[in-house]
């Protein structure tokens, strides 16, 4: 028939169904001729060589969004069909990359040349495994960032900038260094070393509390009258025979078996008769 290149009554390896000779790129999909597709050139779904478009098939198809395709990683092309470039976030070993974290920066574990970095504490850059790095300002007790590039914290045994002390595991509210890394002092309500008591702040008091202002127990003979319990307290003068305050911190009276010459008693045998002798 005029105009027909062939006619096989359908599509065959030798003839397209439109009676033209089969040719990859003619826009007629002839599977009998081994074509997976034919869109007359590159398209999003079909390569110009009549194979289905697929990254990694070794055929660069720009219509399918491929910048390159070398069938895998190569010096010039990444395995995802993009141009190989350090900093693109794709590690291409064939291009000599030991790492690729997607940025051009060094000191973050992967250098600007895409090589794995060994962290160096004290270089001023916070790297893998480091909580902080202030360079030369790092220090145990002098900085919030310790010499090992970890943050200073209460209980690490280093006296940090905001800490009054730090004895590590020995910290405790009954120790010289409290659990909050502040020094144990009289009046803080913690019974620390050298203290007989500590009720905290204004609760401590000389004569007003069982615990004195110096964090020692209020006892008879300390010259502080503590109510209840003591009627008087003249310190070392208690019970000396002239003080009106007995050794038990109670006021002297006739009949208490305590002879107080300062009150005019000559003797006191507990009978209630003290043979008063008044001194001029």
Give the rounded distance of the alpha carbon of 106 from its chain centre.
24
Contacts of range 139-143, beta carbons closer than 8 Å, 24 or more positions apart? 141/166
Q: With CA atoms as reference, report the closest residue to 31 among 54, 49, 13.
A: 13
Residue 182 burial class via C-beta count within 10 angstroms: exposed 0-12, middle 13-18, buried 19 and up: middle
Is the peptide bond preceding residue 56 cis, with omega within 30 degrees of 0?
no
Token representation of residue 6? 């062939």
Residue-level pLDDT, tens digit, the chain, 280 residues: 677 889 888 889 989 888 989 999 999 999 899 999 999 999 999 999 999 999 999 999 999 999 999 999 999 999 999 999 999 999 999 999 999 999 998 888 899 999 998 889 999 988 888 999 999 999 998 889 999 999 999 999 999 999 999 999 999 999 999 999 999 999 999 999 999 999 998 888 887 788 999 999 999 999 999 877 899 999 999 988 888 999 999 999 888 888 888 777 778 888 888 775 555 5
**What residue ranges do the domains of the chain occupy?**
1-53
* Alpha-carbon span 164 to 180, nearest angstrom: 9
**8 Å CB contact between 43 and 63:** yes
Give the rounded distance of the alpha carbon of 88 from its chain centre.
31
Q: Say what the pTM is.
A: 0.52
Q: Hey, which residues does 110 pair with through a beta bridge?
A: 116
């Amino acid at each position: 028939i005029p105009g027909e290149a062939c006619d096989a009554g359908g599509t065959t390896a030798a003839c397209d169904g439109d009676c033209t000779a089969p040719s990859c790129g003619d826009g007629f999909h002839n599977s009998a001729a081994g074509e997976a597709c034919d869109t007359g050139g590159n398209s999003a779904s079909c390569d110009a060589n009549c194979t289905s478009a697929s990254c990694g098939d070794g055929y660069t198809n720009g219509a399918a969004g491929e910048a390159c395709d070398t069938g895998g990683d190569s010096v010039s092309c990444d395995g995802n069909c993009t141009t190989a470039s350090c900093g693109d976030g794709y590690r291409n070993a064939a291009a000599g990359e030991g790492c690729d974290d997607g940025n051009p920066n060094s000191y973050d574990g992967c250098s600007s040349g895409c090589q794995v970095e060994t962290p160096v504490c004290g270089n001023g850059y916070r790297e893998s495994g480091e909580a902080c790095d202030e360079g030369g300002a790092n220090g145990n007790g002098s900085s919030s960032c310790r010499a090992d590039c970890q943050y200073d914290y209460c209980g690490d045994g280093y006296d940090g900038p905001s800490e009054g002390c730090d004895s590590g595991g020995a910290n405790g509210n009954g120790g010289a260094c409290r659990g909050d890394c502040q020094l144990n002092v009289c009046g803080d309500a913690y019974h620390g070393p050298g203290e007989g008591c500590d009720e905290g702040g204004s609760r401590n008091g000389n004569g007003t509390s069982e615990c004195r202002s110096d964090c020692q127990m209020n006892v008879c003979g300390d010259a502080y009258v503590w109510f209840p319990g003591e009627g008087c307290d003249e310190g070392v003068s208690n019970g000396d025979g002239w003080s009106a305050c007995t050794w038990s911190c109670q006021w002297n009276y006739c009949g208490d078996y305590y002879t107080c010459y300062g009150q005019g008693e000559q003797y006191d045998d507990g009978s209630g008769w003290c043979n008063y002798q008044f001194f001029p």
